[in-house]
Amino acid sequence: MIRNGVPLPPTVYPLAKGRVWAMLAGSLVFVAVGIVFLVAHSTLKMTVAGALAVPFFGFCSVLIIQRLLRARPELVLDDAGVDHVRLGRFGWDEIAAVRMREQRVRNASQWFIELVLHDPDAYLARAPRLVRSTASMNARLGFGPANMATNTLPVPPEAVLDAMRRHCPGLAVQH
């Protein structure tokens, strides 16, 4: 958006490192618990739980460490569109709307900003492999393919939506 003949500077959101360090600690705790279950193997359920927990949370730990080591911002909004570290780049013309979504699991909830795309299939054709591999699971949960977790951002999701509307004033926000 150009204001008074000057383009709006990009809005840059770095990784919320404190939260991500806490996620890494949690993943490593689950790896340790899984190892204890495997070593103790007092019951079949504990052995199976350990055999599933160690590789899953180990993989999560590796992904989290990679994010902590990367010097790239988590999210950049500019007059041309959105650049997300995991999802990639979107032009504003690709985005039909945005909406805040909540995923609840028992007593915990996770907030996402969903980019509602005009052509999700075109995005999936160029999307990173991890996004493509989770697209069918997201569809079963009622989500589109482009979802940004807000727990890695240093601001509340409402602040991100406000910044999106500053860069793209006609952007539709669904509730």
pLDDT value for 61: 92
pLDDT over 90, % of the chain: 46
Q: For residue 4, what pLDDT band results from cuts at 50, 70 and 90?
A: low
What are the pLDDT digits (tens) for 84-109? 988 999 999 999 999 998 887 778 78
Q: Is the pTM of this model over 0.85?
A: no
pLDDT over 70, % of the chain: 97
Q: What is the DSSP string of 72-119?
A: S-SEEE-SSEEEETTTEEEEGGGEEEEEEEEEEETTEEEEEEEEEES-
Of 92, 89, 88, the C-alpha closest to 80 is: 92
Q: Strand 172-174 relative to strand 95-105: parallel, antiparallel, unpaired?
A: parallel
Q: Strand 75-77 relative to strand 11-13: parallel, antiparallel, unpaired?
A: antiparallel
Asked if residues 41 and 47 have their Cβ atoms less than 8 Å apart, the reply is yes
**Average pLDDT score, the chain:** 88
Comparing 5-14, 118-127, 156-165, the range with the smallest average pLDDT is: 5-14
Q: Does 35 have pLDDT greater than 60?
A: yes
